[in-house]
Structure 1
Amino acid sequence: MSTTLSPDHVIADLKTRWGNAVITDPAELEYFGTDVYSEGEPLLAVLRPNDADQLAAAVAQLTAAGIALIARGGGMSYTGGYLATRQPTVLIDTGSLDKVVEINVRDAYVVVEAGVAWEALQQALQAKGVRTPYFGPMSGSHATVGGALSQGSVFHGSARYGSSADSVLGLEVVTANGDILRTGSAASGNATPFFRWHGPDLTGVFLGDCGLLGIKVRASLRLLPRHSHIDYLSWQFERADQLMDAMGALARAGLASEIAAFDPSLSQIRMRRASLSSDVKSLGNVIKKGGLMQGLKLVTKGRDFLDPELFTLHITLEGDSEGEINARVAAARKAVEAFGGEVENSVPKVMAANPFAAKNAMLGSAGERWAPIHGIVPHSRSTELFNALQDLFASEKAVMDEHGLFIGTLMTTVGAQATLIEPCIYWPDSHNAFHVRTVDPDHRARIGCPGENLPARAATHALKRKIADTMRAHGAASFQIGKFYTYRERRDPAALAMLDAIKQQLDPKGLMNPGVLGR
């Protein structure tokens, strides 16, 4: 006779031992089963482990009972990465794995638990005068290290230092049978987690896997000294090709730490939000970072210097001396002067002063829902892809107008080689459980909430698919693949066979995040 407990009995047993760290309240399960964009199958429970050993024992017990498992970081996904596709499923909330374990300045690495938010990590490192090369997405007040490494993410530091994965030295991962697997030099006897390249790169297998292969519990990341000097530049451009050429020139030269560009539609969306001069928090942070004169300059300038009919580009530059920062600024101006005209640099100053302030931006100025879709291409294909997307939007104009959909596009670069293009769809619809919990209540009260709009939601879903298919047709890669972007389609068969063999070895029952990466 089998002694395997039923799913309900497993949860009851864990509740007896874990207490409030096992969550079964329906309202809480609804929240944890919802991401920025949609909802998944109902969850059986949510577990909030305190350490890796506790989690590993629970994982072994849950998978023995045939229960699917999904890990969740800060919840800022919009591609179904942590949404359940079958029942029974238990979600692992890594929010209590929030310790900065070791800051080793001498050997230039930091060890963190997976549930540490990027903003909290940077605050801990600031006191030591160091930082990680990539230091988080714009949603870093909530987004976690583990989530970014599982999904892939970019922005702060990415133009110069690459994506989240480029800062990783090693990982600790709980696999489906309850083992704790280590990668990098930490897997070699008593070695410390200071070095990634010790034999085959097993670390890379788990980066961007969206939890397909296991649950990340710790990561070792590179450190570098904080740059002592910083400056900002902004430009405007009449055409997309001018903008793309400017971004490519800056990226190849490695001049900027962050690059953010907006098409005219996104610039207009941003202008509809509160003005710089009325945003007390933004002004306060700019004054704190750059002094009173910079704050007063923002009050005077506001956003009025931007032409809403033009493309805009905003960059942050960093250096380790006045001479270096001046040289970077001069080189950036020279690289871009043939393509566009320089304007007031208020926007990148505010972005730098509020680096993790994006959580309220997931709703539009009138409470509209938000859905970004991105593609990553080499610089040589960026204008071609942007124009193809404009053709798509023109062909869909009647449907978009009928349902109140509008689109603004954000662009950035990743390291020296890549341009990221991210159209964001806004549509009138009710807010879900994730929005209600995450967006500041006073902000939601100001912008209001449109009523439920199922036709607009369906039109958005169809347009999202067409955007992703257009990007795929132009050879684009993606982060945050989750359960939305195609991964297996047209992929090299030998590469898929290798991934499937690793999955079979680590998770023979297929219980780690079923449905992710197209499985």
Structure 2
Amino acid sequence: MRRRAVGDPMLTARPDLLTARLEQAIGAQHVTTDPAQMGGRLAEDRGLYRGEALALIRPGSTAEVAECVRICRAAGAAITPQGGNSGLVGGGVPQGGVILATDRLNRIRSVDALNSTMTVEAGCILQVVQEAAAQADRLFPMSLASEGSCQIGGNLATNAGGTAVLRYGNMREMVLGLEVVLPDGQVLSDLNGLRKNNTGYDLKHLFVGSEGTLGIITAAVLKLFPRPVTRATAMVGVKGPEQALTLYDRLRGQCADALSTFEYVDRLALQMALDHGPGCTDPMTEPHPAYALIELTSADAQSDPDQRLEGLLAAAFEADEIRDAVIGASEAQRDGLWRLRESLSEAQKPEGASIKHDVSVPVSRVADFLTRATAACHAHMPDLRVCPFGHFGDGNLHFNLSRPKAMKDADFLAEYPAFNRIVHDIVADMGGSISAEHGIGLVKRAELRRYKDPVALAVMERIKSALDPDGLMNPGKVL
């Protein structure tokens, strides 16, 4: 989107005046122009993109965010909102202007256990929110590998998914109200904890998943849930994705009230976790082509999910749907099974460059997709190491491709466009999405143009133009 010249010509021509105004607004100690101090905030997690910025600013309140936005708008300076900067599509990489970090917006404003809601600021670390919910005897179920560093604002801006979507939904389903600073500096305050509110357009859904291109989320009202007091966790060995899908259908049909996790892991992905994940050990005596990580949870202290899961898996074994299974017999064993899943992303890094695809297809097509996409990618590069894993129960697969061992990283990454075309064409043919939970950012902007319905794109552009006519909010991302 082309940016228009706006505001004060003096501020536009004098970056030093812009930073001076920002220092007056939030304090000089919260503004830096030193690239060394900006550090990793100029680059995305995998190092594929690196940007530049005039300054890094760290406002400490919604009022300060609003004032910073007004100052930047007057200067015609772009704003790149950043939370924990743990995204995987370059959505937080600045392209000039200022980086607005939300880490000082880290207060939990209130917890209403009876209403099962929590009002938190955007800079709250996800793990801190989980812990605060637990202290109120409630559950905030969003769970990600980066939960120790990612922030709620970023989770909302990307409509994060995670391992519990099967039962609780994406972030979009976990938020009731938002507070947002708009591109003109006005504050949209809609922090209600209502489950029913039919007073016109539900504006929060404009900003959830918008990747900071329509405004800056500063606070949110989140849904809380009953805290599980019993759980059963199992790792199951299967012949491949077809068996895993059959097993998922059995479990979904017979224990949908308790099934919170069904994660698929290819053997290569598991082997990388075993090779590189701290504290990871193989729970089974022999390897299998693929695995499913399954968890049942209940808020009923009298329930016995272990017995229930054991019975279901015994029936699946008799039906030749599984080859082996290990049920965690203690909290430590259950955590050990989860450690394997949570180590998958980091464990790929020592294996060299990888080309990642975060895609979704109808649940009924996940096995077909894995078979078809794997064959097509191997046809293009026979020595390729296909490393898929993901959330089978909601159709979201991380179809990651690790370079052949003898190939250089740069040579492999040059194949990104070719593999995108192979994988995304298959996804589109199956009625799927090229981005399930990571967003569009910089990485998939051209792909969005290729696969998104043109009318839908036009509507998105109208919304962007209406809210951010000057194109200053996270420019270059999504559209």
The share of aligned pairs that are identical, in percent, is 23
The match for 1:19 among 20, 28, 50 is 28
3-state SS of paired residue (1:471): helix
Supply the distance in 2 between the matched residues of 1:494 and 1:177 (Cα, whole angstroms).
Answer: 27
The match for 1:322 among 281, 297, 302 is 302
Q: Which residue of 2 aligns with 1:481?
A: 440
Between 378-387 and 154-163, the greater mean CA deviation after superposition? 154-163
Supply the distance in 2 between the matched residues of 1:425 and 1:384 (Cα, whole angstroms).
Answer: 18
- What is the identity, as a one-letter code, of the residue corresponding to 1:57? E
Q: Which residue of 2 aligns with 1:130?
A: 138
3-state SS of paired residue (2:463): helix
Supply the distance in 2 between the matched residues of 1:251 and 1:508 (Cα, whole angstroms).
Answer: 46
Task: Work out whether 1:380 is the aligned partner of 2:364.
Answer: yes
Q: Which residue of 2 aligns with 1:230?
A: 231
Supply the distance in 2 between the matched residues of 1:63 and 1:393 (Cα, whole angstroms).
Answer: 46
CA deviations on 1:406-462 (whole Å, 9 max, x unpaired) are 331112145xxx311112234599xxxxxxxxxxxxxxxxxxxx9994323323565
Supply the distance in 2 between the matched residues of 1:311 and 1:408 (Cα, whole angstroms).
Answer: 11
**Contact 2:66–2:186 at 8 Å: present in 1 too?**
yes
Supply the distance in 1 between the matched residues of 2:54 and 2:404 (Cα, whole angstroms).
Answer: 31
Q: Which residue of 1 aligns with 2:194?
A: 194
Supply the distance in 2 between the matched residues of 1:335 and 1:104 (Cα, whole angstroms).
Answer: 42
Call closer, same or farther: CA 1:496–1:462 in 2, change over 3 Å. closer
The match for 1:349 among 311, 324, 334 is 334
The match for 2:129 among 104, 107, 121 is 121
The match for 1:93 among 75, 87, 101 is 101
**Contact 2:428–2:451 at 8 Å: present in 1 too?**
no
3-state SS of paired residue (2:282): coil
The match for 1:162 among 152, 169, 172 is 169
CA deviations on 1:190-240 (whole Å, 9 max, x unpaired) are xx4333633332221211111121111111111122111111122111132
- What is the identity, as a one-letter code, of the residue corresponding to 1:504? S
Q: Which residue of 2 aligns with 1:288?
A: none
**Contact 1:239–1:311 at 8 Å: present in 2 too?**
yes
**Contact 2:73–2:184 at 8 Å: present in 1 too?**
yes
Unaligned runs of 5+ in 2: 1-6
* Pairing of 1:61-460 with structure 2 (within 5 A): 61-84=71-94, 86=95, 88-132=96-140, 134-183=141-190, 186=191, 192-195=192-195, 197-199=197-199, 200-251=201-252, 254=256, 255-273=258-276, 279=279, 302-303=281-282, 305=284, 307-319=286-298, 320-323=300-303, 325=305, 328-329=308-309, 332-333=312-313, 336-337=316-317, 338=319, 339-346=321-328, 349-350=334-335, 358=343, 361-364=345-348, 366=350, 368-398=352-382, 401=383, 406-413=385-392, 418-427=394-403, 453-460=409-416
Supply the distance in 1 between the matched residues of 2:146 and 2:40 (Cα, whole angstroms).
Answer: 18
Task: Work out whether 1:471 is the aligned partner of 2:427.
Answer: yes
Q: How far is the alpha carbon of 1:330 from its aligned partner?
A: 5.6
**Contact 1:316–1:348 at 8 Å: present in 2 too?**
no
**Contact 2:269–2:387 at 8 Å: present in 1 too?**
yes
Supply the distance in 2 between the matched residues of 1:2 and 1:215 (Cα, whole angstroms).
Answer: 22
Q: How far is the alpha carbon of 1:306 from its aligned partner?
A: 5.4
Supply the distance in 1 between the matched residues of 2:422 and 2:196 (Cα, whole angstroms).
Answer: 39
Call closer, same or farther: CA 1:206–1:419 in 2, change over 3 Å. same
Supply the distance in 1 between the matched residues of 2:92 and 2:271 (Cα, whole angstroms).
Answer: 32
Q: How far is the alpha carbon of 1:335 from its aligned partner?
A: 7.4
Between 335-344 and 370-379, the greater mean CA deviation after superposition? 335-344
Task: Work out whether 1:516 is the aligned partner of 2:477.
Answer: yes
3-state SS of paired residue (1:39): coil
Call closer, same or farther: CA 1:89–1:332 in 2, change over 3 Å. farther
3-state SS of paired residue (2:268): helix
Supply the distance in 2 between the matched residues of 1:396 and 1:451 (Cα, whole angstroms).
Answer: 14
Supply the distance in 1 between the matched residues of 2:420 and 2:324 (Cα, whole angstroms).
Answer: 34
- What is the identity, as a one-letter code, of the residue corresponding to 1:265? L
CA-based RMSD? 3.1
**Contact 1:112–1:218 at 8 Å: present in 2 too?**
yes
TM-score, scaled to structure 2: 0.85
